[in-house]
Amino acid sequence: MIFKPFMREGFMPLPVAFISSISQEGIRNIAPYSCIMPVLRPLDLICLASARKRDTLVNIRENREFVVNMVGADFSDKVIPTAKFSPPEADEFELAGLDEKPSETIRAPGIAGSYAWMECELYREYEEPDYILLMGKVLRLEVADEALSPEGDLDIRKTQPLMMTGSKKGMNFCTVADIGQFEPFGAMFPDGKDPMSEKYKK
Ligand SMILES: Cc1cc2nc3c(=O)[nH]c(=O)nc-3n(C[C@H](O)[C@H](O)[C@H](O)COP(=O)(O)O)c2cc1C
């Protein structure tokens, strides 16, 4: 079956991250963003694609900071309350019944109950008429202890990261499953060694 090109996200499950930010006046804002990606390994950059009419965009441009909150499937009922239009003067933590987790390096707070928090500063933006790519530099990455396996990796069974696929009618929320296959990074290289391995030892 052939689909229209703009249907691409229906066939690539996307994370549902919650972006928290504050306005110049200190009003707290939350918005779910799925068009989000880390920029290569092992850089500390993360890229968000934002539409123009977003309080999130205004706040990030004003204060140059934001938190990427990674949440589990238990946050699925917070997606619509935070995605619905609300005026810039509305406190979206209150609106969605969410508590804040104070940040260490920036003023914008994170969201309590997330399993990971990336405190970011705006590094660069790329502006086009219909969208803006916001490049954030992760200043601090915290992961809840209970979200980690004994080896220190993300325990996806416990956290059930919230994800979604788009369809013609809307969004199907889902999570990920471990298929029980592991490969070291080195497996991609002819000598079997990961050239970036030193970076992960620090
Ligand atoms: C699951 C989901 C993912 C979304 N992803 C994005 C996104 O990547 N970029 C974007 O600009 N808007 C995205 N939106 C729409 C915004 O979350 C929505 O417009 C929100 O009201 C913006 O809030 P704000 O004006 O407080 O920033 C998404 C909405 C949902 C429900």
Going from the Cα of 162 to the center of ligand 1, the distance in angstroms, rounded, reads 15
Going from the Cα of 94 to the center of ligand 1, the distance in angstroms, rounded, reads 18
CA-nearest of 5, 9, 36 to 171 is: 9
Rounded mean pLDDT, 27-38: 98
Task: From the options 1.10.10.10, 3.30.1360.70, 3.40.50.10420, 2.30.110.10, give the CATH code of 5-200.
Answer: 2.30.110.10
Burial of 59 (0-12, 13-18, 19+ CB in 10 A): buried
Give the confidence band of 72 by pLDDT, cuts at 50, 70, 90: very high
Count CB neighbours of 126 within 10 A: 11
pLDDT digits (tens, 9 = 90+) for 1-30: 999 999 999 999 999 999 999 999 999 999
Give the confidence band of 201 by pLDDT, cuts at 50, 70, 90: confident
- Strand duo 163-166 + 132-143: pairing: unpaired
pLDDT digits (tens, 9 = 90+) for 82-97: 999 999 899 999 999 9
Beta bridge partners of 21: 29
- pTM equals 0.98
pLDDT digits (tens, 9 = 90+) for 100-139: 999 999 999 999 999 999 999 999 999 999 999 999 999 9
Pocket of ligand 1 (CB under 6 A): 16, 29, 31-35, 49-51, 54-56, 79, 83, 85, 164, 171
Q: Could you tell me which residues come within 8 angstroms of residue 33 by beta carbon, excluding any fewer than 6 positions away?
A: 16, 17, 18, 19, 48, 49, 50, 56
Query: What ranges do the domains of the chain cover?
Result: 5-200
User: How many Cα atoms occupy the beta-carbon half-sphere of 67 within 13 Å?
Assistant: 30
What's the token pair of residue 65?
């900071």
